[in-house]
């Protein structure tokens, strides 16, 4: 059983809504990213997603695009991200997922990436623009290295592709609650519940729902339909606003604790 399997099994056993947090590696710098991950972990995040900055982040809204631009300007690469994770991993309780576009991984080489990610203590990989139909070899390479492959599902994903993603995927499935790019919203998308229902009809694999999640109320609502909520842009916004401030970590801890204040599943 992988660390992600253990985490979601524990979440289900205590009947609460899990929290997956996302940050962009190297924003504001790699040293601070390690501190941020330790803070999120200590504040109660169940899974830590670490985004690899990319030059053409097509699925990301302006908040995460700006984070990628800042990180790339500071010299953050996939290799540097893996080193940072390796340097930080021993201090973290939660599983770590590398969240990347396919291009940086393919440029490094899938086998080289898998070996370096394994050695860094990474638990799962989400290559968000890798088509399910072309993921077989990638998934096999990750599996050989002991890494869970996580797939992204959108409201336009067919039932057949949802089923295939569940067959190939491990750890959990990441459901996008609405079309469009990432970004915090004041209200959850109307399509979140039916999206979760469609996925549940195909598989009982753990499900995390994201895109637009920013409040404790959102997290509680998602707990009615899925195992965990994913919060990304709202956390990156806190980092953007307080990057040069010594109180950044305390602000992040307070925000995560607020998000988990309604942690009990409905």
Catalytic residues: 49, 60
Q: How far is CA 134 from CA 102, 112, 129, 130, 199, in A?
A: 11, 19, 11, 7, 21
Query: Distance between CA 27 and CA 72 in Å, rounded?
Result: 9
Smallest CA-to-CA distance from 52 within 117, 142, 133, 112 is with: 117
The pairing of strands 228-231 and 18-24 is parallel
The 3-class secondary structure across 35-91, one letter per residue, is HHHHHHHHHCCCEEEEECCCCCCCCCCHHHHHHHHHHHHCCCCHHHHHHHHHHHHHH
Q: Which residues of 148-186 are buried (b: 16+ CB within 10 A; e: fewer)?
A: bbbbbbbeebeeebbebbbebbbbbbbbbbbeebbbbbe
Count of residues in the chain: 266
Among 145, 157, 138, which Cα is nearest to 121's? 145
> Tokens at residue 97, please?
């997922």
- Give the integer Cα–Cα distance in Å for 140 and 164: 15
């Amino acid at each position: 059983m992988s660390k992600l399997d253990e985490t979601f099994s524990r979440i289900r056993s205590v009947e609460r809504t899990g929290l997956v947090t996302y940050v962009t590696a190297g924003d504001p710098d790699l040293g601070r990213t390690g501190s941020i991950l330790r803070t999120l972990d200590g504040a109660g995040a169940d899974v830590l997603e670490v985004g690899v900055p990319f030059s053409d982040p097509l699925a990301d809204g302006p908040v995460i695009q700006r984070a990628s631009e800042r990180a790339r300007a500071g010299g953050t690469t996939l290799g540097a991200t893996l080193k940072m994770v390796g340097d930080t991993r021993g201090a973290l309780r939660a599983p770590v997922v590398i969240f990347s576009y396919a291009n940086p991984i393919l440029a490094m080489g899938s086998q080289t990436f898998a070996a370096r990610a394994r050695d860094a203590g990474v638990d799962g990989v989400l290559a968000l623009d890798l088509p399910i139909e072309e993921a077989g070899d990638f998934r096999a390479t990750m599996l050989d290295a002991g890494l869970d492959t996580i797939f992204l599902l959108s409201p336009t994903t067919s039932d057949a592709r949802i089923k295939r993603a569940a067959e190939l995927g491990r750890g959990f499935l990441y459901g996008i609650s609405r079309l469009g790019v990432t970004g915090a919203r004041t209200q959850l998308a109307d399509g979140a519940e039916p999206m979760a229902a469609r996925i549940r009809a195909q598989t009982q694999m753990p499900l995390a729902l994201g895109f637009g999640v920013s409040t404790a109320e959102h997290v509680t609502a998602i707990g009615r339909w899925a195992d965990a909520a994913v919060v990304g842009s709202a956390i990156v916004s806190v980092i953007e606003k307080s990057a040069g401030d010594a109180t950044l970590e305390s602000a992040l801890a307070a925000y995560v604790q607020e998000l988990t204040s309604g942690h009990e599943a409905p």
